Structure 1
C-alpha cells in the first residue's frame, strides 16, 4: 500500500481509518512518525524538536493517562 498522509483542510476533520490505509501497530520499542515505524529513541527526538519549534506547544495525554485506567498509565 502507498504511504498515506492526512492533509490540512476539510479532510483532516474526517480522515479515513488508519487500518484501511495500511497503518499497523508498531512493536514494543518502536513508534509511528507520520506513517513510518521508527525506533522509539528517534520518535522522542522528533517529538522534542516539534515541541521546541511550535508556536504554542501542547501535550494532550490520552484517556489512559488522564484517568489512570490501569497500573501502566
Structure 2
C-alpha cells in the first residue's frame, strides 16, 4: 500500500503529498529490483514495510510533541511513553 492508503496521519503532519510521492517511488524501485531478480520479493516487501513504519513513527512522535506544546493531551505515544 502506498500513498494515503499506506499511513493515515493527522493532516497537520503536512506530509501527505510528499509521503504519497516517496512511497510510490520506493515501492516502484523495490518492485523493479524484485522483477529484475536483484532482490527477493519477500525481502523487498519487508524493506518497504520497515521504511513506511519508521517514517510514520517519526511523524507521529513529532506531531504528538507538537500537540503537547499546545497543551493537547492524548495524541500519539509521547504521552506516558
More helix by share: 2
Query: Whose RCO is larger (CA < 8 A, sep 6+)?
Result: 2
Pairwise TM-score range, normalised by the shorter structure: under 0.3
- Tell me the TM-score normalised to structure 1 length: 0.25
> If the length of structure 2 is used for normalisation, what is the TM-score?
0.23
Structure number with greater Rg is: 2
Structure number having the greater strand percentage: 1
